[in-house]
Amino acid sequence: MGIGVLAGATIGGNKAAIQQGALDSFNVEKYNRQLHPDEVKWIQENAKHFAKEESERLGYPVTEQEAIQRLLVQAAQEIDFIWSKKIGSTDYRAQSFLKSATAYSEIPTLYSDNRGTFINANGKHQVMFTADKNEYVSTGKYAKELAKFDKANNAIITKTLQPEVKNNLYVKSLQDGVNTVINTVNYMGNHPDKVAKSIVFNTMNCLTEDLCISTVGNTLKESVGSVWQSGKDIGGIHYNLKDVSYLYGKDMRAEIDTIAAVRGGTALLELIGVGKTVGTGVKVVGTSADLGINLAKESAKNMASKAIVQADDTYSRLKDLSKGEVTVYRVEGIPNQRLIIDDKGNVNITGNTTLYLNFGSKKRAVEYLQQKRDKELPGAEIKRFAVLREFRKDIADIAISEKDIKSKDPTKVKPVIADPTKANYQYGLRKDQIELLKSKIIEGSGKNGNK
């Protein structure tokens, strides 16, 4: 909620604006999970009402089966990021009907005020066709239950949703997300004073109204932290990937990574209120306020700088995903050079000692480059090349943590997980993996330099 509150503080000036920012936060965070079987049952049991409404409105019969199909397609998009991008259409009549769930529910409930709800994974009543703020990274949530229900009910879900797919997830995500992120970053960079004044002045209002946490510093810390950490890999979330792939009708190992990449951009938009005009004409007086503006101005510049890196990282990840590849990064200078890349993009790996590589995170590569430059590593630069995603998976499957080397790999032949707190998929490759890597590098994909 802190991100949404700050967004409201950035875009407006009063209690209503701050509350709207919090509401926007909820709306952004509502994705994603799978439909719960009880929601499907609700649609099946109440579709006749929707069919009747539409028949009267359109002047010709709408069958109950047609109503079920329209409601299922819209319901899936309401709560799941992947279906919303793959299908990419809005049936406003169906959407409105779903929002009226409490009015039409015929599912028996103990209390009338629990109509239109289901019992969620936490054992609590949850309003149908909504998702709580933690579910946007849970594409596998309820996948097991829904897949089981689907198989027992003539594949009602898969037969309905899969034929509706119109869009490529990567392309659609790029179209909807990256350009907006970059435009927002440019605004932040070009107007730090306006952004800073809005943040300071309206966060003060936020504090007065007791609608956010206790200090501006903590608010910024929480918000920025959420933005930059939101791109973390979601593959570790506990669910059965086979159930997810069954529901979408394809192997989803690669595509679920897109959620993490896009979320990094979405959180940035949420933070600074994209789609709304950043507040202007704010007048702040007093020494403490001036100090706050200067601090926020620096924060705005800092956020803009980090946002450029995040947007570039998001674009790079989605580009890789669309091609079934992974860009491999290594920061090195003259003293530790291991990669020699010629003008045609051919990569030659020298030496046979452990080779540390970053599989997929351009953001981490940029951050590490800056660390090396701060330490004055001569000739420090980012070098990169591409491999197929299967190679990264093969390495990940056998890699061990550094603390387990002595007990599980005393001869040091397995790849080692490197600095997992900074980024996922960073490994130190041993001699055998280096030799295998040489045959897996995509020809001509090598590049020198930091662009």
What are the domain boundaries of the chain?
2-28+169-321, 34-130, 324-440
Check whether 361 has a pLDDT greater than 80.
yes
Q: Which of 84-93, 108-117, 393-402, 429-438 has the lowest mean pLDDT?
A: 108-117
- Mean pLDDT, the chain, rounded, equals 73
HEC profile of the chain: CHHHHHHHHHHCCCHHHHHHHHHHHHHHHCCCCCCCHHHHHHHHHHHHHHHHHHHHHHCCCCCHHHHHHHHHHHHHHHHCHHHHHHHCCCCHHHHHHHHCHHHHCCCCCCCHHHCCEEECCCCCEEECCCCCCCHHHCCCCCHHHHHHHHHHCCCHHHHHHHHHCCCCHHHHHHHHHHHHHHHHHHHHHHCHHHHHHHHHHHHHHHHHCCCCCCCHHHHHHHHHHHHHHCCCCCCCCCCCHHHHHHHHCCCCCCCCHHHHHHHHHHHHHHHHCCCCCCCCCCCCCCHHHHHHHHHHHHHHHHHHHHHHHHHHHHHHHHHHHHHCEEEEEEEECCCCCCEEECCCCCEEECCCCCEEEEECCHHHHHHHHHHHHHCCCCCCEEEEEEEEHHHHHHHHHHCECHHHHHHHCCCCCCCEECCCCCCCCEEEECHHHHHHHHHHCCCCCCECCCC
Residue 140 has what pLDDT? 78
Tens digits of residue pLDDT in 190-246: 555 555 444 444 444 443 433 333 333 443 444 444 333 333 334 434 567 789 889
Overall average pLDDT of the 141-150 stretch: 92
What is the value of pTM for the model shown?
0.53
- Tens of pLDDT, residues 105-129: 554 443 344 568 899 888 888 889 9
Residue-level pLDDT at 75 = 95
pLDDT recorded at residue 82: 84
| Tens digits of residue pLDDT in 164-196 | 999 877 666 655 554 554 555 555 555 555 554
pLDDT at 117: 87
